[in-house]
Amino acid sequence: MAENIHIMGIVNLTPDSFFEGSRVQGADATARIRKMWEEGAQIADLGACSTRPGSPQPSLEEEWRRLEPVLQDIAPFVTPGSISIDTYRAEIVRRSYGIIGPFLVNDVSAGTLDPQMLSTVGQLGLPYVAMHMRGTPQTMQGCTDYSDITEDVLAYFRDFALQAADAGIREWILDPGFGFAKTLEQNYELLRGMERLLELGRPILAGLSRKSMIYKALGITPLEAMPATQVLQFAALERGATWLRSHDVKEAVQTARLYSRIYTSSPGAAK
């Protein structure tokens, strides 16, 4: 697999994430994290607050109640760059840092849902994933009025780049936000034009795994959406993504390896 392709495995510490197979708690979560690393994930992404469309948001203390025991459990063997935490709350970032030290912050709101988020990340010197979203998880699917989805997302991140610099965030990854404040067709339009986002000079993370843009388009369930997920992950790599966020690490690694074999293997490389 090409060295510049990274796999982020999804670990949902929630009772209501849209894909039931991703939900784990306690010791099962620790086992899932270890398995993802063994399968080739560079990072296990822990989320204790579902952000699927329309999902009710737990309180900060409820999010922390789900997350803290897992962080305490994995703290002795976490290495730098091996964990990300999927949260939009600065206080969760601060508390998590106190247990496991540096990690990657994965924020679906790019700082819009907590005015302290960007300054907190900058002060702690943490790397950051900024995702494009409009509104909140409850309202976002009514915020889809774009003139040009790709250009609007590009403009969003041009503005974010200035905010990140002001906050002292030096290392950040761009996530186009597939499935967030976008219609089914807008998701595919954005994927087709994703190469335009490369002009910002930031790594691109594609979060496509088992999403509604797949299962609704095909008339299947999230459980049946793994093969089609691999198709879209491959398409994302072709358009410049270097991070794949996936429920299924082994399959994402296979996708990345085949992409590398086609596009980066030298003539005569070992078969």
Question: Tell me: the pLDDT tens digits for 60-119?
Answer: 999 999 999 999 999 999 998 999 999 999 999 999 999 999 999 999 999 999 999 999
pLDDT at 21 over 80: no
**What are the residue numbers of the active site?**
211, 245
The pLDDT value given to residue 196: 97
Residue whose tokens read 């209501």? 16
243-246 and 128-131: which strand pairing?
unpaired
The pLDDT value given to residue 47: 93
For residue 13, which of 55, 59, 54, 62 has the smallest C-alpha distance?
62
pLDDT at 56 over 90: no
Residue whose tokens read 């025991």? 69
Q: Where are the domains of the chain?
A: 6-263
Q: Minimum mean pLDDT among 138-142, 212-216, 251-255: which range?
A: 138-142
pTM of this structure: 0.92
Average pLDDT (14-40) is 79
Distance from C-alpha of 132 to C-alpha of 2, rounded to nearest angstrom: 26
Average pLDDT (133-143) is 84
Residue 271 pLDDT grade (very low, low, confident, very high; cuts 50, 70, 90): very low
Distance from C-alpha of 89 to C-alpha of 212, rounded to nearest angstrom: 25
Characterize 2-30 residue by residue with b for buried, 16 or more Cβ atoms within 10 angstroms of its Cβ, and e for exposed.
Answer: eeebbbbbbbbbbeebbbeebbbbeeebb
Distance from C-alpha of 4 to C-alpha of 56, rounded to nearest angstrom: 36
Class of 6-263 per CATH? Answer: alpha beta
Distance from C-alpha of 33 to C-alpha of 17, rounded to nearest angstrom: 17
Q: Minimum mean pLDDT among 16-20, 40-44, 230-234, 258-262: which range?
A: 16-20
Q: Minimum mean pLDDT among 13-22, 43-52, 130-139: which range?
A: 13-22
Q: Is the separation of the CB atoms in 254 and 237 below 8 Å? A: no
Q: Is the separation of the CB atoms in 89 and 114 below 8 Å? A: yes
